[in-house]
Amino acid sequence: MTNPAPRPVLELSGIDKRFFGVSVLQQVGLRLYPGEVHALMGQNGAGKSTLIKVLTGVHAADGGAMSLDGQPVRPGSPQQAQALGISTVYQEVNLCPNLSVAENIFAGRYPRLGALGAWRIDWAGMNRQARELLARLNLDINVTRTLSSYSVAVQQMVAIARALSVEAKVLILDEPTSSLDTGEVQRLFDVLRRLRDEGLAILFVTHFLEQVYAISDRITVLRNGTLVGEYPVAQLGPKALIAAMVGRELAEGQSVNPVPDDQRERVPVVSTTALSQRGQLQPIDIELCAGEVVGLGGLLGSGRTELARLLFGLASPDGGEVRVRGQAARITNPAEAVRHGLALCPEDRKTDGIVAELSVRENIILALQARAGLRRCLSDAQQKALAEKYVKALGIKTNDVETPIGLLSGGNQQKALLARWLATDPSLLILDEPTRGIDVAAKQEIMDEILRLAQGGMAVLFISSEMSEVVRVSHRIVVLRDRNKVGELPAGSGEQAVYHLIAEETT
């Protein structure tokens, strides 16, 4: 780390931003110094993405000031921000896979030949400059090959080269390691250290705690759209960082809402051995038993949803084994998962769950009918009876089962999704953020229902960003960090115990 300059290269102060009257940023500040890697940390909804969009010109701030090299600036678009020397590389590489590496680096700014041939692209010159930029990143590849012929890690380097090609003063990296393996992350960090030592200011956004301490010099923490503080990395250990992000000190030995363990014989319904997916989940062993709620504890980006997707056949593992009732099972798609007795309520209810235009009845019978096949259609009477059964059992508030589900409240939509999968009589129910975006009363009802299902013998895998919910309903808590399993905690463990386990593995 070089000593920071006395003046930030980029400074934001008092930034406010509102959407439809709702405040998402309140008096937020950020200082980026040349020759530093600065981590921007916060939980989902903390305001990180909105702040980046303000400083890159995607959104206009409703208040506050921004300066670059001590001069007031207010970029009105990403192009204006880039012209000022503020370049961004996003989580999803936003380049053109069908173009060459060199074309991607200089897209929209192709070098031209002399005045007499200004309309002609200088291909040789462009390829030479592309090689020089990549050499700065210690990358030697054929720049005339299409981008799609290279790995995600190489594409990430090409995106960084493009960002640097405009003489960037500030480089913003938004989750750049999300699709990289350990070796690729280390190579990226070697490049970032070299750029930092050349005097570049780098803003690094990640959910991986280990990476924060491996590469960062300074940390800014946001929570609920407000600035918690700015800290030299040496002065903010992992436990203090997590406490700043979640808004609570990590007190020792605190237990919240213990769930009694009935000590019944544990009968595995689904178990995994070294199940993994490159760039998404490190090898993980987990056992999900009948009559038990297993909670996944971890911060955003820890691998919770990735595990759920692998179990349900929405993603393909690169290694490991899944066993269903003791027998090896190859689950390559959701239809196979359902045949094996698995069910999944997805994280994004509106996009991946409900079909808003269909009725409550049609939404509830969807999975059962899909499993039965088109040749064994449920009669209208069977469908109505089934829907009315679950509407009554789960307390779904609707005037009629023929009401379009899109007209129901979020909590009642979530209950209807739960009903859809209960109708298939699953052995394992995977719930990914089942209480997101619903009111307190509906949350309570759904969590009570989860415990009732477990008491009835169902295995449940429970995923929630609300740690208080995880500790309330779980008989065991599997703790994840940076897409690794770092331990398990028994019933009765509190939020603090989960956070401690996450933080301890980082030190």
- For CATH 3.40.50.300, list the domain ranges present in the chain: 10-85+168-246, 265-341+427-507
The residues, any chain, with a CB within 8 Å of residue 165's CB and separated by 6 or more, are 105, 106, 109, 129, 133
Domain 10-85+168-246, classified CATH 3.40.50.300, yes or no: yes
- The Cα–Cα gap between 504 and 501 comes to 5
Which single residue is written with the structure tokens 């895998």?
461
Per-residue pLDDT of the chain (507 residues; tens, 9 = 90+): 445 557 899 999 999 999 888 788 999 999 999 999 999 998 767 888 899 999 999 999 999 999 999 999 999 998 899 889 998 887 666 788 899 999 988 887 777 776 655 678 888 888 999 999 898 888 889 999 999 888 888 888 888 888 888 888 999 998 888 767 777 888 889 989 999 999 999 999 987 888 899 999 999 999 989 999 999 999 999 888 988 887 866 554 443 343 445 555 678 999 999 999 988 899 999 999 999 999 999 887 889 999 999 999 999 999 999 999 999 999 999 889 988 999 998 877 777 778 888 899 999 988 888 777 767 788 889 899 989 988 888 888 888 899 988 888 777 888 888 888 888 889 999 998 887 766 556 677 778 888 888 988 999 999 988 888 899 899 999 999 989 999 999 988 888 899 899 887 555
For residue 62, the model assigns a pLDDT of 94
Distances (CA, A) of 124 to 113, 131, 138, 448, 478: 10, 11, 21, 67, 55
Q: What is the pLDDT of residue 259?
A: 46
Residue 282 has a pLDDT of 92
Structure tokens at 236: 């903010």
pTM over 0.75: no
CB 101 within 8 A of CB 95: no
**What 3-state DSSP class applies to 285?**
strand
Strands across the sheet with 327-329, in order?
A: 281-289, 268-277, 319-324, 327-329
Taking the CA atoms of residue 133, residue 136, residue 139 and residue 144 in that order, the dihedral angle to the nearest 10 degrees is 10
Residue carrying the six token digits 């003046």: 7
* DSSP code for 352: I
Give the other-Cβ count within 10 Å of 471's Cβ: 26
Taking the C-alpha atoms of residue 263 and residue 266, their distance in angstroms, rounded to an integer, is: 8
The per-residue pLDDT for 172 is 94
Residue 442, pLDDT score: 67
Write the single-letter amino acid at 339.
Answer: R
Give all strands of the β-sheet with 201-205 in edge-to-edge order: 71-72, 63-68, 10-19, 22-32, 226-232, 218-223, 36-41, 201-205, 170-174, 86-89
Q: Rounded to the nearest 5°, which phi and psi values hold at 161?
A: -60, -40
Per-residue model confidence (pLDDT) at position 288: 95
The arrangement of secondary structure in 265-341+427-507, i.e. its CATH architecture, is: 3-Layer(aba) Sandwich (3.40)
3-state class of 305 per DSSP? helix
Q: What share of the chain is helix, strand, coil (3-state, %, to 5)?
A: 35, 25, 40
With CA atoms as reference, report the closest residue to 252 among 243, 261, 260: 243
The pLDDT assigned to 114 comes to: 63
